[in-house]
Amino acid sequence: MSKDDVAFSVENVSISYPTSRGWVQAVRDVTMQVRRGQLVGLAGESGSGKSTLVLAATRVLQPPAVKVEGHVQIVGRDIFKLTKSELRTVRWKTFSFVTQSAMNALNPVMRIRAQMHDAMRAHDPDYSRSKADRRCEEVFRIVEVPIAKLDSYPHQLSGGQRQRAVIALALVLQPQLIIMDEPTTALDVVAQREIIALIRKLQRELGFAVLLITHDLSLLLEVADDVVVMYGGRIMESGPSSELLRDARHPYSRALIQSFPPLHGPMKRHEGIPGSPPDMQNPPPGCPFAERCASAIDVCSEKAPTLVSWRERQIACHVAQTDVADSEVGV
Amino acid sequence: MSAMRQNVPTIEPQRLGAPLVLQNVHKRFVQGGRVSHVLRGADLQVGASEIVALVGESGSGKSTLARTIMRLYTPDEGSLMFDGRDVTTARGRDLREYRQRVQMVFQDPFASLNPTHSVRTILKRSLPPRLQSLRDKERDDLFRDALEKVGLTPPDNFLQQFPHELSGGQRQRVALARSLAGRPDLVLADEPVSMLDVSLRLGVLNLMLSLNEQYGIGYLYITHDLASARYVGARIAVMYAGDIVEEGPADTIVEEAKHPYTQLLIQAAPDPDRRGVDDLDSAVFTGEPPNLSMEIQGCPFQFRCPHVMDKCRKEVPMKRPVGDGQLVKCHLYA
């Protein structure tokens, strides 16, 4: 794979927050990629570090609010080496961000058109008023919201329309990567489906890549190309969704998949995952999942496993890595 | 149960559970001169010791229905029967007794527990009057029993804790323990897991299932997630615009949905097994739930329905049986 194929690449990134009790490491040694045109899902529970990862990787969170180590590239640009003015031209034009509870991200006292103009002219001074107007209408057509709504205030739109308007805003300067943090959690199932179908369709037509952050693993397994599963600040397992669905290797990703009751087929009692997620102020020395893991062995609570590549996948698990090695010998 | 505890009250091993029947329930709210007709003739039955899942989008009126059952609201029309008694307009002692037998668990365990109270105080507040006079030791035994039943062990550690010291899953277990202290026959659980982390949800759902199996407590499980509705519910009732549009055995509803709205919900639910089989945009998605402050003539789903006919714009469809225990309100099955 050539470097040009990669829209978003994170290499050995660790992120810590300062607290009154010293540094708390929220993300540890994460490496992942999103290739051009792909939809990659980042799945994890609250506290898994998924939002911290993308906020720091896009420099929304910057020192001294956080301490960041590692490298991040977005479409060939080394994010941590950009100056502030360079960063402004990269944001929105190279990548854009749909934040959590995006429906409420719109300014309630500004018409939507004015908000879109603001964003466009801040990041690309070439846009004249009339050119910006034309572009606004174009993107509204793309996301299938009536153009008249451009002159509405956010409260005059339904939840689904507001979400579409936010996606239109993210699209407006034609970025090659859109990062979406829980874009559909506030929406109903039907509206969620509409939005996901829309994103997929726009990706096919316009070719941008999407990093979709959500806790809804069953949705990702259905629609994403690749899935990255995070827990306790680390990647547990990543790989093509179809592979993970068929044959997840990490005990956590297996248990997480089992946590979603199936919609069809025979119904049997599923066991939940006992215990609760680790306290990140006081992280366990070994694998963050060891305490809740049914297959844990002694080494799991002593030493954190490293992320190892296996076929198209990456796995960080002492037990699964041994299994995988055994099965390779068998082959 | 240990011999030591035999003399103290516990949640009795007797079978709990009593039937609830709602008929033609209407509820209107007036807001700034506008009338929102939120419940529009809802019929619902929850048998003794049965788990019924109530599924619908936000704004469909499912929380209003739960609050009406709880009698936080009084229905404008229709009747509410519990254990053979009419509680539609019950007051005073009768209402207190009813509310003791029917308990509610709210969606947000971060908001439904008083942050300034310890778990012990939270449980104490939920005791029915006749148990308020228990001596402290007996009462604590009762609480320990309830906490053990919801999987908060060892219970002594939890009694003196405050909500902020507990995780979301633990808080929701405290809320469930609180609902048990009054020995309810029926618990209304309004989206009890939607605010919890994925890895904790199944634990809470399994807890509801085992309390149902062991003690016969019935549940009305309110959710927007069809997969979990099928997981816990023996029956599923689908709510749209203030009315139950389809109901039946859980598997029948998911596999042989008759109402176009139920079919839409099933198409929209995430389903990894459909990967690559079904094109994401092959489904027809149009419109949003109707504005309940407008009077709707005919079927409330007509504006989104792919099969809409003339009749749908004129008459509200009647409830009709279409199969084994399956009822649907749709002109297609006239």
Interhelix angle A112-123/A129-142, rounded to 10 degrees, is 120
User: Quick one: tokens of B44?
Assistant: 């619902």
Q: pTM here? A: 0.88
Amino acid at B115: P
Domain coordinates in residue numbering, chain A: 3-94+175-262, 112-169
**Residue A1: its pLDDT value, please?**
52
Phi, psi of A70 (to 5 degrees): 105, -170
**Residue B248: its pLDDT value, please?**
96
Phi, psi of B246 (to 5 degrees): -155, 145
Helix (H) or strand (E) holding A131: helix A129-142
B275 vs A228: CA distance, rounded Å: 17
Closest to A183 measured CA to CA, from A286, A41, A316: A41
DSSP character for B18? Answer: -
B117 vs A291: CA distance, rounded Å: 30
Domains in chain B with CATH codes: 3-333 (3.40.50.300)
Cα angle B2, B6, B12 (rounded to 5 degrees) comes to 100
Residues in chain A: 331
| Contact: A200, B266; criterion CB under 8 Å | no
Name the architecture of domain A3-94+175-262: 3-Layer(aba) Sandwich (3.40)
Per-10-residue mean pLDDT of chain B, 334 residues long, equals: 43 74 95 89 94 91 93 95 94 91 88 92 84 84 86 86 87 88 88 83 89 92 94 96 95 95 91 73 65 87 92 94 93 92
**Shortest CA gap A78–chain B (Å):** 34
**Residue A74: its pLDDT value, please?**
95
- CB neighbours of residue B114 within 10 Å: 12
Tell whether B277 lies on the interface with A, counting CB pairs under 8 A.
no
Residues of A in contact with B274 (CB under 8 A): 222
**Residue B34: its pLDDT value, please?**
87
Answer for the pair A67, A18: CB distance below 8 angstroms, yes or no.
Answer: yes
**Shortest CA gap A12–chain B (Å):** 27
**Residue B98: its pLDDT value, please?**
93
**Residue A29: its pLDDT value, please?**
94
Tell whether B305 lies on the interface with A, counting CB pairs under 8 A.
no
Q: State pLDDT tens for residues A157-214.
A: 888 888 889 999 999 999 999 999 988 877 788 888 888 988 999 999 999 999 999 9
Residues of B in contact with A222 (CB under 8 A): 270-272, 274-275
Q: Which of A188, A215, A263 sits opposite B227 (nearest CB)?
A: A263
A144 vs A124: CA distance, rounded Å: 24
**DSSP labels, A133-168:** HHHHHHHHHHTT--GGGGGS-GGGS-HHHHHHHHHH
A64, pLDDT greater than 50: yes
Identify the residue among B51, B195, B198 best suited for mutation to test binding to A, counting A beta carbons within 10 A and taking the highest. Answer: B198
A35 vs A208: CA distance, rounded Å: 10
B92 vs B129: CA distance, rounded Å: 13
User: Quick one: tokens of B199?
Assistant: 């890895």
Residues of B in contact with A292 (CB under 8 A): 199
Identify the residue among A205, A221, A260 best suited for mutation to test binding to B, counting B beta carbons within 10 A and taking the highest. Answer: A260
Query: What mean pLDDT, rounded, does chain A reach?
Result: 90
**Residue B5: its pLDDT value, please?**
39
A148, pLDDT greater than 90: yes
Q: In terms of pLDDT, which residue wins out, A98 or B1? A: A98
User: Quick one: tokens of B233?
Assistant: 């519910």
Residues of A in contact with B198 (CB under 8 A): 45, 215-217, 256, 259-260
| Contact: B288, A158; criterion CB under 8 Å | yes
Closest to A310 measured CA to CA, from A248, A251, A258, A230: A248
Answer for the pair A24, A17: CB distance below 8 angstroms, yes or no.
Answer: yes
Closest to A215 measured CA to CA, from A247, A240, A184, A246: A184
